[in-house]
A and B are shown apart, each in its own frame.
Chain A
Amino acid sequence: MPDKPKVAFYWCASCGGCEESVVDLAESILDVVAAVDIVMWPVAMDFKKKDVEAMADGSILVSLVNGAVRTSEQEEMAKLMRKKSKLIIAYGSCAHTGGIPGLANQFGREELLRYIYEESPSTVNPQKTRPELKVIANGSTVTLPNFFNIVRALDQVIDVDYYLPGCPPTPKLLKQALEVLLSGKLPEKGAVLAPDIALCDECPKKDTKPSDLKFTEFKRPHWMQIDPKVCLLAQGILCMGPATRGGCEGVCISGNMPCTGCFGPPSRIKDQGAKILSALASQVEAKDEKGIDETLATIPDPVGTFYRYGLPVSLLRRKNFNSTG
C-alpha cells in the first residue's frame, strides 16, 4: 500500500480559533485522519521542529498554516514548512490577510512594547524591564524570538498556493478544500477556496436591501433591537457584506450580527476598506460637507471597522514609521 499523503498544520500569530475549526470537522475529522498522515500539528500532536527538518523537501503534500507572521520564529517555521511542502494553504484570516493581529500595524514596535511593558494600566514594572533576545541567568542562556516592527500576512513571507478565508474558516470550506486537494484536481495557483462573489449574494436578508440607503447615522448593534428580517445596512448597522467574499453562508447575519469582513474582499478588490468606504460614502444622505462629516463621525474606530482583518494587505498596510518616528 502506498504511503498516505502527508498533511501538516502549523500556527503563527493566531488565537487558536483556526485549530478549533479543524476540530469542528467533528466526525468528518476521522475521515481526514484516515485518509492522511498528519506529520505536524503543534496544538494536538507532539512533533518537533527537528522531525520536520528531517523530512525530505517537498515530502508533505499540504501544510495548512494559520496565523500572521509577527516574530522571527514564525518566519523561520513558515519558511521551513514551505520548504518541506508541495502546497501551502494560508488558513484563516490572519494567514490570509493579516487578521486581527494585523491591526497592530497601526503602531510601531517601540510604541507597542512601551505600552505593554510600561504604560498599560495593569502593568507594574518599575524597572521597565523589556523582553530581551538573549538573557543569561544562573549560567543558562534563554533566547526569545525577535519581535518584528510589523505584522505580515503569510504570503508576504513565503509563497502561498491557496487560501482558506475566514475567522475561522468554516468546516464546510475546509472539508471541500481537503477533498479537492486529495482528489488531485488542483485549482489555479493563488486561488481563494471560497466563492468569488460578495456576501450579499447569499445573504438571507438581501431582498430587503434598498437601493438608496440614505445614511444619516451608523448605529452599533448593541444599541438597538435589530429587526431580524431586514438588511442590516438598511437599519443603519455597518455591514461589511457588500465588500466581503461570500461562502460563510451568512453565519453572522443569521445571528443578527453584521458581517465584519473576515473572508476578505472578492478577488477584484485590492483594498477592502477603501471599497466599502466608497460604497457607503456614496450613499450618505447629507450632501454638504458638515452633514457628511457628522454622519461619518458616527462610525466607531474606522480602521478597526474597515480593516478589521486586512490591514497588512491593504494599500495602507501599516503606520508610516518614517513620518512619526
Chain B
Amino acid sequence: MHGNGYNGTVRIGFYICHCGHNIASIVDVKAVAEYIKSLSGVVVSSEYKYMCSDPGQELIQKDIKEHSLNRIIVASCSPLLHEHTFRTAVEKGGLNPYYFQMVNIRENVSWVHTDMKAATEKAKDLARAAVQRVFHHKSLETKHVKIHPDVLIVGGGIAGIHAALTLANAGKKVYLVERDPTIGGHMAMFDKTFPTLDCAACILTPKMSQVKNHPNITLWTYSEVAKVDGYVGNYKISVRRKPRYIIEGLCVGCMDCIEKCVYKEGKTPDEFNLGLSKRKPIYIPFPQATPQIVVIDPETCIEFKSGRCKKTCVEACDRKAIDFQQKEEIKEIEVGTIILTTGYQPFDASRVPFYGYGKYPNVYTSLEVERLVNASGPTGGELILRDGRHPKTVGIIHCVGSRDKNTNRWCSRTCCMYSLKLAHLLKEHTDAEVYNFYIDIRAAGKSYEEFYDKLLDENVHFIRGRVAEVSDWAVRPSEEGKLIIRAEDTLIGIVRRVPVDMVVLAVGMEPQADSQDVRRMFNISCSTEGFFLERHPKLAPVDTFTDGIFIAGCCQGPKDIPDSVAQAGAAAAQALILIDSGEIELEPNTAYVVQEECSGCRTCLTICPFTAISRDEAKQKAFINEALCKGCGTCVAACPSGAIKQNLFEDEMIFSEIDGLLKMESPACC
C-alpha cells in the first residue's frame, strides 16, 4: 500500500495520548488510532490517557517485546517536552532510541483548533506523515564528549561574583573576565539597597575581595573575551587583556602615583561617578575597587600624548610598577562551561527630551543620585545640586524608558523599589519634600510592600500619573527658579504642576549596547528586546540553546540583586551538573559530508554558524567536525551537490513525511 519501500520488516507501534483533556477534548483519539492501524507497517495502534506517565512508557516497552516492534511513534505534546522521555522508554524497551518519532498534536492541533472533525483529520495527517517517515529511520549512536572542569564567567557584577564564588567554593577552577578595571558592577555604585537598606559596600566588598583572594579564581579585569571556539565541554577562549600600563604583580594600590601625578586636579569626567566628579589620567575607580590596582588612561596621560611628561608618577612609585610599554596581551584558555553575567545598561535619559535631562542641570538619573547620596561618592554623600544648592523639594519620575511604547515596552522591575529607596535616602540626607510620580507601584517581592508602607509613613508623596513634561517655565511666582513637573494625577483627575528643585529620572534597564555582538560570539540567542534568551522561561531559566552556556543576572532581563544572585547560584549549579557528570550526551542529529560526493566547491565552508566545517586541502573535500556541529541544517540546504547529509533529517525522511502529509504514497506524476 505504501510506496515507501515497505518490505514487511518494519513493525510500527503507534500511540496517541489524550493528555488528560488537553488533546482528547478536541481530537477524536480513538478515530486516529483506528485509522493509523489501517496503514501498512503498523502493527500496534492504541490510545492512552497519559503516555508520558510510567504506565504509558511501560506500555511501549511491553509492546516492543510482545510484538517485536522496531519503530515507535507517539502522537502527543511537543518534542521539546517529552521527546527525551519517550526515547529513553524506547531504549529501555530494547530498541535504538532513534527509531522513535514524535508527533505534536497538542501545540500544533488541539490547542489551536476548535473544530473537532477538522482537528481529528489534521491529527491523522500528521500521524500518517510520521508513519511514512519512520520507514527511513536508522539506528544512531549517541555520542559523548568529556567536560573540561574549568569554567569561564564573563562579567563581574554581583551575578558574576556570586557564580564565581559558588563554583570556586565547590572546588572548581574559575576564570572571571571583567571589562572594567574593577569588579562590582552596578551594585558597587549604590549606597544602600532595598528593601533592607543595608549598605551595598558592606555586603559587596567582602565578596569582591574573596574573589580576588580565592585560590580557585583567576580574575582578569580590564579584559574582554576576544574569541570563542569549540563546543560544550571543550571551549577554547581567547581573552584580550587591555594594558593598564601598570604591572599587576607589583602594584599594591597605595595610590602614591595618583597623588603625585603632574595633574594636581582631575580633569577627566570620572566614569565610576558618572561624570559627577573628575579624575586624573592615573586613577582607581573607587577606594574598594578590586583588584586594588591603578590604571593609566592613555587618552589623557601626558606621557602618552606628548612623550614629554615629567613622570612624577613613576618617581612616586617605589615598587616600579608603572610600565608605559605594556602591550595588550592575549590569554588562551580552555573551559568546559561558560556563564554570562554581563548585566545591563541604564536607559539613556536624553532619549525622552521632554524630561529635560541634559538641558536642566538639576535633572538627574537615578544612578547619578545613587552616587550623590553615597558616602564615598563625588560629594562625600552630601546632596549638592549641580548649581550648588541643596534641594528642598525633589520629584522622582518612575518608568523612564520602561512601560512606554515609544522607548521600551518592558517593566524594568527594580525602578519602583529603588525609587522608594532613593526617596527614603533623599529625605534622610536633605529632609526635602519628595514626590513620586508613578504609573503603578510594583512592590512584589518579599518585604517589598512593607517597605512601601514604611515610605508612606515617612510622608513621601505619591502622585499617580505619567509625567507629561519637566520645564522651567514658571506661570506662578511660587514656580520661579524651579523645575515644574506637569502630570495628570489620575486618582483625582486633575493636571498638576509640581515645582521642585531636583528631578530624579528612574531610568529603566536595557540590554548592554554590545549584547548582539556578545550573543553572536557565544552563539546564543536574544529575545526581541535584546536580553539573552533562556532555553525555557519556566523550566530552564538559566540555560541557553547552546549547551554548556548559561546566563544569570540582568543580561537575561531586568531584575534586582536577590534575583540576580539566585540565578547566579542556579547557573553555577547547572555548570556543576555538567562538570561533575564528566561527560555529556550529544544529539546525533549532526551533519556529515559524503566524501566521494563532495565536489570541493567550498560553498559550505563559511556558512556554518558553528564553524564546524573545514576543508581537507590534500583531498580537496569538505569535512564536518561532528562535535562542533549543532545540526542546524544550514550546510545541508546549501551544499549544491547534495553531498551533505544530516542524521534524523535525511532527504528521504523529509520527503516521505511530506508525501504522507499530502496523502501521496509516491511522488505523483503529470
Contact = CB atoms under 8 A, between A and B. Distances in A.
Our verdict on whether A and B bind, yes or no, reads yes
Contacts of A113: none
Most B CB contacts (10 A, CB to CB) among A210, A246, A282 go to: A282
Nearest to B594: A268
B628 interface: no
Tell which of B601, B615, B669, B670 has the most Cβ of chain A within 10 Å: B601
Given A150-B670, A197-B599, A198-B601, A268 B643 contact: yes
B642 A265 contact: yes
Given A210-B602, A242-B640, A242-B641, A268 B651 contact: yes
A143 interface: no
B634 interface: yes
Interface stretch (B26-34, B265-273, B603-611): B603-611
Given A156-B669, A242-B640, A269-B641, A211 B599 contact: no
A197 B642 CA distance: 9
Contact of A198 (B607, B620, B634, B640): B640
A283 B606 CA distance: 9
A152 interface: yes
Interface in B597-631: 597-603, 605-607, 615, 620
A200 B600 CA distance: 7
B606 to A, nearest CB: 4
A209 B603 CA distance: 9
B599 to A, nearest CB: 4
B246 to A, nearest CB: 41
Interface string B91-125: 00000000000000000000000000000000000
A197 B639 contact: no
A152 B670 CA distance: 8
A279 B642 contact: no
A51 B598 CA distance: 47
B638 A282 contact: yes
A197 to B, nearest CB: 5
Nearest to B614: A211
B603 A242 contact: yes
A143 to B, nearest CB: 24
A288 B670 CA distance: 39
B642 A282 contact: no
Contacts of B606: 211-212, 283
- With most chain A CB atoms within 10 A of its CB, the pick from B598, B607, B640 is B640
B605 A268 contact: no
Contact of B642 (A152, A246, A268): A268
Contact of B634 (A212, A265, A282): A282
A251 to B, nearest CB: 17
A282 B608 CA distance: 10
A206 interface: yes
The binding surface of chain B is classed by DSSP as loop
Nearest to A212: B606
Nearest to B615: A211
Given A242-B603, A246-B599, A270-B655, A198 B669 contact: no
B637 interface: yes
A97 to B, nearest CB: 14
B299 interface: no
A59 to B, nearest CB: 28
A12 interface: no
Interface in A203-258: 206, 209-212, 241-243, 246
A184 B331 CA distance: 67
Interface in A263-312: 265-270, 275-276, 278-279, 282-283
Contact of A275 (B602, B634, B640): B640
A208 B638 CA distance: 20
Contacts of A201: 599-600
A209 B670 contact: no
A282 B603 contact: yes
A8 interface: no
Contact of A209 (B601, B638, B651): B601
A241 B596 CA distance: 17
Nearest to A312: B670
28 contacts: A150-B670, A152-B670, A198-B599, A198-B641, A200-B599, A201-B600, A206-B600, A206-B601, A206-B620, A210-B602, A241-B601, A242-B641, A243-B640, A265-B642, A266-B597, A266-B641, A266-B642, A266-B643, A267-B642, A269-B641, A275-B640, A275-B641, A279-B603, A279-B638, A282-B603, A282-B637, A282-B638, A283-B603
* 10 nearest A-B pairs in the assembled complex, by CB-CB distance: A268-B642, A198-B599, A198-B641, A243-B640, A211-B605, A279-B640, A242-B640, A201-B599, A200-B601, A200-B599
Interface of B: 596-603, 605-607, 615, 620, 634, 637-643, 651, 655, 669-670
Given A198-B640, A198-B643, A279-B601, 8 more contacts: A196-B597, A206-B601, A209-B601, A211-B615, A242-B601, A268-B642, A276-B640, A279-B639
